[in-house]
A and B are shown apart, each in its own frame.
Chain A
């Protein structure tokens, strides 16, 4: 299977699976509202790791995106250069 076909298959599965999660029944006890502050300390989540993950994710996402654009730009410029060279050679 080509990587492109594999990518389409994975994307299709992800997109089709997303609505299925919406139909899942809520876990027991979720319908009752319990204020977070009233939870026992053992069940309380520390906020700092979640905050750090959120900010780190943003940073990683931006770096990844800039890297993908840079990679695509390099590839396109390389192809343009190759094509221009080929055109010059054939015109001689």
Chain B
């Protein structure tokens, strides 16, 4: 594995120690009070998921047009992380909504499209696992399709009427650090992005080993 893994792991661990302290010290939001603190793990989960979408899309395009196996490994690994961080977002969201909105789930544009986006990546991994020979290319197309859908999921709160807050919330928080919400959010975001990078490195390492095993099986059959 790469030499940067250990220092990166140490920095990430440190950020995950600092983040809860900053979150605990952050002021209560005037309307939602304590439950708003889910925000500091909910938003970074989606940020990490979007990082996965980007890596998966670039890897899939690279693989489809250049046939590069390394790019395919990155795409597959990133798709798995899209599911992981997406699941955390889909679970933490309803826990927050139950208190803030009074319901676990609302079938509005944002929540439904986010669920559908997550399901596209479930399809991606199912195609790869059970699609048989050549399924990598079909999965790559699914990955590109998922990434193409993702901007609509992000801006859906601005286009359609939904109870989910608009995309302007995070930029407003970042622009007003004096309110005390920006520091914990930014540290959490950085921690999640670094965690994503670490998990991607580990998952790509596993994918490389799986490819090596496949080649050994082929050599053994010959």
Interface of B is mostly: helix
Binary interface encoding of chain A residues 36-80 relative to chain B, with 1 for a CB under 8 A from any of its CBs, else 0:
100100000101101101110110011001100100110011011
Q: A18-B115, A50-B95 are in contact. Are A69 and B202 (CB under 8 A)?
A: yes
Residue of chain A at shortest CB distance from B35: A47
- On chain A, which size bracket covers the interface? 35 or more
Interface size on B (CB < 8 Å)? 42
**Given A61-B84, A83-B216; A51-B119 close (CB under 8 Å):** no
B213 beta carbon closer than 8 Å to chain A:
yes
In Å, the complex CA distance between A29 and B12 comes to 46
Pick the contact of A11 from B107, B112, B126, B203 — CB < 8 Å? B126
Q: Is A48 a contact partner of B34 (Cβ separation < 8 A)?
A: yes
Which chain A residues border B87 with CB–CB below 8 Å? 61
Q: Bound state CA distance, A79 and B99, in angstroms?
A: 49
A41 to B220, CA, bound (A): 70
B105: nearest residue on chain A (CB-CB)? A21
Contact of B130 among A8, A21, A34 (CB under 8 A): A8
Say whether B178 faces chain A, with CB atoms less than 8 Å apart. Answer: no
Residue contacts A-B, CB under 8 angstroms, 7 given = A30-B103, A47-B33, A50-B95, A76-B206, A76-B209, A76-B210, A86-B220
